[in-house]
A and B are shown apart, each in its own frame.
Chain A
């Protein structure tokens, strides 16, 4: 199959202060076939150009929502984006088939460590449980929901060195998605897509 085209929707209101998302975005931008769409840069007054967003979705096969995990969810603009862009009879509903069969996942950073996101843990739910609205949205839009790419304990990461392994994994994931090297069934079932990344990659043509 021809390489998948990937749209990364980046939502970070103060990217200049970001530790993880800024470096992940840089990594994504460098991957051929990836379009990085910086929403807060495109819509500083939060007014979304719906038509433009729908045109972008139409020409991509994979939609990645990249964002910090604000209040177990996304920054406000990404919610607004969902509200306005995913129109009835465009994205979902009896006559809405524009997103059918596309892949989607969240790439997010959390302040807390991995063990906090467990049932009975500090944050009481797993990341996948908390992402249920995204899972359901993908389902309603007939998209395939993949496990999230998660960077835990983002507040402990200061330097390029510390973030590099994650940025490297992110790059490998995007390339693998592009080149159809991801085992989609495994990726859909996993708790996190990068725990470890190699677990969801096809064995034969493993990406370097």
Chain B
């Protein structure tokens, strides 16, 4: 067996490429796909890779990047709003789970210190698996998703004090060194931590943004990517040096940069690295699982596994209920967070170093943790397919809503600012509309308002069929995001060529992309508002209301004609396009100016009596002024 890096890379990549699409196709999600790939290439099955630990260490960086991206999505204000679930729900989850496991351990006659240590290990859940799965299933923004996220965030924070407490739990009472930063007095440590956090916040505000601006101006994409990576690596290093969790540090940096104008570029740059490294991480977790142990001590391993899942789920369910979460959210957090997470691997090996336990204990623990992660995707499937549909109060519910089209004449994709007005207008006029929207938050809110909306991705053919596109008379494409909108438009055009489409367009580029698909009824979302505002402005400046209104109407006609004119250049090189656009703009402005200043016959000649006055004066000459009558 070759151990060359190329061969290793080959094995990992092949495993990923084969297993992940398979997992997706079977509806199990990518995480389970990666885990199965890991099992397949691991020592127990094919034996293509041996020592997974090194790879895993490297791959843990994927978790760091993921938290950076999570941070980017979170504005500080939102984080502040979440303080109660983070510290309340998260804190009680860690303490409660640890206490429950300890109790079970002590009742089973295990040393209390060992029980406490195991409890702390089991309190951890897998940020990587849970966030990835929630995001994939579109559950991250639901109440349950937010609660799960808060708990996970607290766990990341809690790792630091737990690492400090662990050595004190050594059965022999051995005073061990406290991590790598051992030897520093407590206050130095505290100052270092504080300093590092300050550095990150200040650098995010005053250094990183200008640096991004300079780099963005070079227009060299790879330099930008390199800087984005450098940023994440540097923060991770800094945090590790002062003894904080790198994941926490990059998360913080992400939050600081969440308001920055480079947020989306950062996201798209880091995203593929994160994806690959996380995949690698899951694969190595799969490869780590020691199946021999499962064969040798099946009762012990399965018992521990089921016990851990059960205790974690029960504690979480109780707390979720205590915190007033709805039933779907309770189940989501209980089942979703029931696995033991990647930090547990760190804690287990740390415990071994500090003689909290020996290899006889850590072996089964590692197996249990890995197996619990392996069953998580299955639990998510269970949650999604069986539990959520039952506990959700009424009607077809997310995820993967069962769409019933009730023979509606109209199928609508997107129920945001545009879709809501259109949809309600149609419904009030007595036309049934089947609405699909991809934003769980919107769907949830509108459901509460009594609006019938289905959570679903309109770029999926099966959903379009279920929504009744075969029978519908009209498809309203009200999705705001151009990429998604075009994707859906293509799908509808291809599979339902006779279904007329009315589409909303964000801008001209979007307009042309839809137009080239053969869609003619396209409505630019800001045009109407701009014209109304323009007319109102004219009115304020003393133009009569009806005249202002007609100017706006005329503007629309000219603008639409010019837009259609430019269609033939839409695919041209940029300089051709620009010169044509310039010409069109000039023509447009000249035409409008001529009309407004009256240099054209096109004004409203029917209402213009100039020429008529001349003729009338000629035809009916004014009577000669009467001679003043003399009195008397």
Contacts and interface: CB of A to CB of B under 8 A. Distances in A.
Nearest to A91: B606
B550 A84 contact: no
28 contacts: A45-B553, A47-B550, A47-B553, A50-B604, A50-B605, A50-B606, A51-B602, A83-B606, A83-B607, A84-B604, A84-B605, A84-B606, A84-B607, A85-B606, A86-B606, A87-B605, A87-B606, A88-B605, A88-B609, A88-B611, A88-B612, A88-B615, A89-B611, A90-B605, A93-B611, A93-B612, A93-B615, A94-B615
A60 B612 CA distance: 26
Interface string B544-571: 0000001001000000000000000000
Contacts of A90: 605
Interface of B: 550, 553, 602, 604-607, 609, 611-612, 615
Contacts of A86: 606
Nearest to B609: A88
Nearest to B553: A47
Contacts of A94: 615
Contacts of B611: 88-89, 93
Contacts of A50: 604-606
Contacts of A51: 602
Among B606, B612, B615, chain A packs the most CB atoms within 10 A around the CB of B606
Nearest to A86: B606
Contacts of B602: 51
Interface string A76-120: 000000011111111001100000000000000000000000000
Nearest to A87: B605
A94 B619 CA distance: 10
B295 to A, nearest CB: 77
Interface string A37-54: 000000001010011000
A58 to B, nearest CB: 16
Contacts of B615: 88, 93-94
Nearest to B619: A94
By DSSP majority rule, is chain B's interface helix, strand, loop, or mixed?
helix
Contacts of B607: 83-84
B492 to A, nearest CB: 26
A50 B611 CA distance: 18
A89 B609 CA distance: 11
Given A47-B553, A87-B606, A88-B609, 15 more contacts: A50-B604, A50-B605, A51-B602, A83-B606, A83-B607, A84-B604, A84-B606, A84-B607, A85-B606, A86-B606, A87-B605, A88-B605, A88-B611, A88-B615, A93-B612
Contacts of B612: 88, 93
A49 to B, nearest CB: 9
B93 to A, nearest CB: 60
Contacts of A83: 606-607
Nearest to A84: B606
Interface in A3-60: 45, 47, 50-51
Nearest to A82: B606
Contacts of B605: 50, 84, 87-88, 90
Among A51, A84, A87, chain B packs the most CB atoms within 10 A around the CB of A87
A131 B612 CA distance: 24
Lowest 10 CB-CB distances: which A-B pairs, in order?
A84-B606, A88-B612, A87-B605, A83-B606, A47-B553, A88-B611, A87-B606, A93-B615, A89-B611, A94-B615
Contacts of B609: 88
A85 B607 CA distance: 10
B133 to A, nearest CB: 50
Nearest to A45: B553
A63 to B, nearest CB: 16
A86 B611 CA distance: 14
B552 to A, nearest CB: 10
A100 to B, nearest CB: 17
A50 B615 CA distance: 22
Interface string A153-190: 00000000000000000000000000000000000000
Contacts of A45: 553
A89 B550 CA distance: 24
B12 to A, nearest CB: 62
A84 B601 CA distance: 12
A194 B606 CA distance: 33
Nearest to A49: B557
A45 B604 CA distance: 16
A14 B604 CA distance: 27
Contacts of A93: 611-612, 615
A51 B605 CA distance: 11
Nearest to A83: B606
Among A83, A84, A88, A90, chain B packs the most CB atoms within 10 A around the CB of A88
Nearest to B618: A94
A129 B99 CA distance: 100
Contacts of B553: 45, 47
A94 B618 CA distance: 11
A45 B603 CA distance: 18
A199 to B, nearest CB: 37
Contacts of A84: 604-607
A45 B535 CA distance: 15
Contacts of B550: 47
Nearest to A81: B606
B554 to A, nearest CB: 8
Contacts of B604: 50, 84
Nearest to B550: A47
Contacts of A87: 605-606
A86 B604 CA distance: 11
B438 to A, nearest CB: 33
B436 to A, nearest CB: 29
Contacts of B606: 50, 83-87
A127 B615 CA distance: 32
